[in-house]
Amino acid sequence: MIGVDLIGRIRRAFHDQGQGIKAIAREFSVSRTTVRKVVRGDETEFRYERGVQPAPKLGAFVEELTRILESEAALPRRERRSTQRLFEELRGRGYDGAHDSVHRFARTWRQERARLPAKAYVPMSFAPGEAYQFDWSHETITLQGLPLTVKAAHMRLSHSRMPIVRAYFRETQELVFDAHDKAFAFYGGICRRGIYDNMKTAVETVFVGKARQYNRRFLQMCSHHLIEPVACTPAAGWEKGQVENQVGNLRDQMFRPKPKVTSLEELNAWLEDQCIAYAKRTRHPESDHYSTRSNDDLLCGKNGPHHRGQPRHWTWVGAQFCSRRCKTARRTHRSLPKFRQDWTEEYRPSAISAGSACNFVERAIVPLLQQLNGGLRCSIVSGRGY
């Protein structure tokens, strides 16, 4: 097969210089059939591709080579083995053919795979006040001079991208409700839908598709605020990708270096101010505005950050959802009331502290002893955390 340089010389000799086919064939030592093929068409390159490539020695190893290529297809390109390494592995398993056969097969297999339809994702768009996204993260702070890992509750408005973060010591359901109450008070309104992952405090059973069996108390909270809960598909983080990205972005902005505080109240007040400052300097990806509370489904406008208005596309329920749970528990033989099985003894208030308050970080526990026919009972109230 002649090269592109010779094809160019033949075309110039025929079209520019006006030479005949016989003269060109004699000058360049090619057949007249080749000259006619070049000058009568517009092709500047000729390729020969064999329809069927015989591989008599590789045939017994095709399935094994295909299995290796499929196992490495999901790896990054730099982590895949070269055809030389594949050839050496097949040689170790008894293959006595040439490297070209292995290289040719691997190249063809990868080209055919590249022609397969790729996964495509359509960017999600949200109307003002349509939805928010919620997620948890674990962050490290310095509390009273000691390092401590806290749980950060993240919420983000899907339309305006306004973030809010609050820190807690645990991820219990009472604290999920408290995070929602604080976030709704911060925004001054409530969206129509809430997008969550399949956290145990919200979802009890995952069925096919979007069908879920939600936790009873979680459904009560959603019903109180008129929210439609939506759970993401397992291992499909892009369905709430905004809050997933927010976790990493705000970690760099607010938790590196580790904030030094004396209490969670101080930390949460600082985080709220930082969220407002972050939104004011962050441009909205779909508009020329910044993601401040003056945009669309955010509430502050000309009246400043403390003004709470309710735009028509927002829902507002005045009273907060009561997340407290009451339960009557009998004292154990050690005079310790037992409320939850995951508490250790150091978290169980002594029955001697009748009528006094025993405050924990994420819930307030008030033991109230009652004399009931010779047996002592105590009522323990588990309330919203701080």
Other C-beta atoms lying within 10 Å of the C-beta of residue 189: 20
Residue 206's contacts (CB-CB under 8 Å, 6 or more residues apart) are 198, 212, 231, 234
Taking Cα atoms as reference points, which of 247, 279, 239, 273 lies closest to residue 151?
A: 247
- Domain match, 81 and 186 both: no
Ordered DSSP codes for 300-365: --TT-TT-----TT-B--SSPP---EEEEEEB-TTS-B---TT--GGGSPPTTSTT--EE-SS-EE
- Domain match, 165 and 244 both: yes
Distance, CA of 74 to CA of 184 (rounded, Å)? 42
Looking up residue 254, the CATH number of its domain turns out to be 3.30.420.10
Decide if 123 is inside a domain.
no
137: pLDDT strictly greater than 90:
yes
- pLDDT value at position 288? 67
- pLDDT value at position 339? 54
- Domain match, 95 and 151 both: no
Question: How high is the mean pLDDT of the chain?
Answer: 78
pLDDT greater at residue 331 or residue 74: 74
- Domain match, 99 and 210 both: no
Decide if 263 is inside a domain.
yes
- Domain match, 274 and 136 both: yes
- Domain match, 67 and 196 both: no
Q: Which of 67, 88, 114 is the last residue of a domain?
A: 114
Decide if 49 is inside a domain.
no
Q: What are the start-end ranges of the E strands in 21-170?
A: 131-143, 146-157, 163-168
Taking Cα atoms as reference points, which of 185, 196, 131 lies closest to residue 158?
A: 131
Distance, CA of 247 to CA of 250 (rounded, Å)? 6
pLDDT in tens, 249-260: 999 999 999 999
Would you give the distance in Å from CA 91 to the centre of its chain?
A: 43
Q: pTM surpassing 0.85?
A: no
**Across residues 290-303, what is the average pLDDT?**
43
pLDDT greater at residue 347 or residue 226: 226
Taking Cα atoms as reference points, which of 208, 180, 174 lies closest to residue 194?
A: 180
33: pLDDT strictly greater than 50:
yes
Instruction: Kindly indicate the confidence band of residue 238, based on its pLDDT and cuts at 50, 70 and 90.
Output: confident
- Domain match, 158 and 271 both: yes
Query: Containing domain of residue 109, as a range?
Result: 59-114
How many independent structural domains does the chain possess?
A: 4
Taking Cα atoms as reference points, which of 25, 231, 215, 270 lies closest to residue 131?
A: 231
Distance, CA of 358 to CA of 382 (rounded, Å)? 11
Distance, CA of 104 to CA of 114 (rounded, Å)? 15
- Domain match, 154 and 257 both: yes
Backbone angles phi, psi at 267, to 5 degrees: -65, -45
119: pLDDT strictly greater than 90:
no
Decide if 318 is inside a domain.
no
Per cent of the chain over pLDDT 90 is 42
100: pLDDT strictly greater than 70:
yes
Decide if 124 is inside a domain.
no
- Domain match, 136 and 267 both: yes
pLDDT in tens, 169-222: 999 999 999 999 999 999 988 899 999 999 999 999 999 888 999 999 999 999
- Domain match, 106 and 189 both: no
Give whichever of 37-41, 77-81, 138-142 has the largest mean pLDDT.
138-142
- Domain match, 93 and 200 both: no
Burial of 336 per CB tally in 10 Å (0-12, 13-18, 19+) = middle
Lowest mean pLDDT: which of 30-34, 236-240, 334-338, 345-349?
345-349
- Domain match, 26 and 63 both: no
